[in-house]
Amino acid sequence: MSEPVKHQDFGERVEQLMKQKQVDLNDVADATGISYEMVRRYKDGIAKPREKGMQKLADYFGVSIAYMGFGNEGFQSNGFVDGVAKKVREIPVLTWVQAGIFNETGELEYDRTEPAYDDDYPDDVYWIRVKGDSMEPRFFQGDLLLIDPNRQAKGGDFVIAREEFESNSITFKKLRSCFDEATGRDYYQLIPLNKDYAIVDSRFKNFVIQGVVIEKKEVLI
């Protein structure tokens, strides 16, 4: 079963640049450090790299990152002027399934982006939408959360986490740092703001932090 072509314009641009440079997929992969399979997917329009990968391709082909990502269409509307990133960045919006396997793949495919107004965020931040009502009244279904998968979580942070060895069990909660006097050991809890939901306690159920929430966008309608 063939994979859907989601980024045809980008794929055609990669193919054209390869023809101009007279290189093949192996040449691009070797020069950029991007895997052969990912370069193939880029050329076929199946996937599109994030900012770091886009910069590698732009450097290799000798074009601006603006042209590499968006061609000759309105660079300013996409957050770029003359190949230099402005304060507005287009960041991937992931599904919960994609977020759950993020650490296993390192490469993400996504259907849409959402701007974030700070270019100091790491390259691999992403948006995810709140599901359910377990974090009401502060967070509501549909709100967008900006996730930093590399930030060290501490007590009081809002995090997304998953049960150990269960990539599909991802959840959004507040992290609480605790100390068990009986054992003399630290432990952690995932706290729902809605009291109708149960607390997850690391003494009884291991979980892995997938990322820390660093920004929220509310849905107002």
Q: What are phi and psi of 97, to 5 degrees?
A: -65, -45
Which strands sit side by side in the sheet containing 158-163, from one edge to the other? 113-116, 89-94, 126-129, 144-148, 207-217, 158-163, 171-180, 185-191, 200-201
Terminal CA-to-CA distance of the chain, rounded, Å? 39
The predicted-structure confidence for 191-216, as pLDDT tens digits, reads as follows: 999 999 999 999 999 999 999 999 99
Residue 106 scores a pLDDT above 80: no
Residue 147 has pLDDT above 90, yes or no: yes
Nearest to 116 by CA among 79, 82, 73, 64: 79
Please tell me the distance from the alpha carbon of residue 197 to that of residue 103, in angstroms, as a whole number: 27
Q: Quick one: pLDDT band at residue 89, thresholds 50, 70, 90? A: confident
- Domain of residue 118 covers 88-221
Q: Are 97 and 183 within one domain?
A: yes
Q: Which residue has the higher pLDDT, 101 or 60?
A: 60
Average pLDDT of the chain is 84
Q: What is the residue-wise DSSP string for 30-71?
A: HHH---HHHHHHHHTTS----HHHHHHHHHHHT--HHHHHHT
Domain boundary among 86, 102, 135: 86
**What is the enclosing helix (H) or strand (E) of 15?**
helix 8-21
- Residue 82: predicted pLDDT: 43
Last residue of a domain, one of 86, 109, 126: 86
Give residue-wise pLDDT tens across range 114-138.
Answer: 877 765 788 889 999 999 999 999 9
CATH of the domain at 121: 2.10.109.10
97 and 4 in a common domain: no
Given a cut of 60, is residue 78 above it in pLDDT? no
The total number of structural domains that make up the chain: 2
Q: Residue 148: what pLDDT?
A: 94
pLDDT, position 121: 81
My answer on whether 25 and 9 are in the same domain is yes
Kindly state whether residues 107 and 193 are assigned to the same domain: yes
Q: What is the largest CA-CA distance in the chain?
A: 69
Would the pLDDT of 104 be above 90?
Answer: no
- Give the pLDDT confidence score for residue 166 in this predicted structure: 66
DSSP 94-156: EPHHHHHTHHHHS----S-EEEES-TTS-TT-EEEE--SSTTTTTS-TT-EEEEETTSPP-TT
Contacts of 99 (CB under 8 A, 6+ apart): 126, 128, 147, 160, 170, 210, 211
State the average pLDDT over residues 29-35.
93
pLDDT band at 32 (very low <50, low <70, confident <90, very high): very high
pLDDT at 73 over 50: no
Residues 124 and 68 in one domain: no
Choose among 214, 188, 212: nearest CA to 202. 188
Q: What is the rounded average pLDDT of the residues 37-46?
A: 92
What pLDDT is recorded for position 87?
A: 55
Taking CA 140 as the corner, what is the angle to CA 139 and CA 143, rounded to the nearest 5 degrees?
85
Quick one: pLDDT band at residue 169, thresholds 50, 70, 90?
Answer: confident
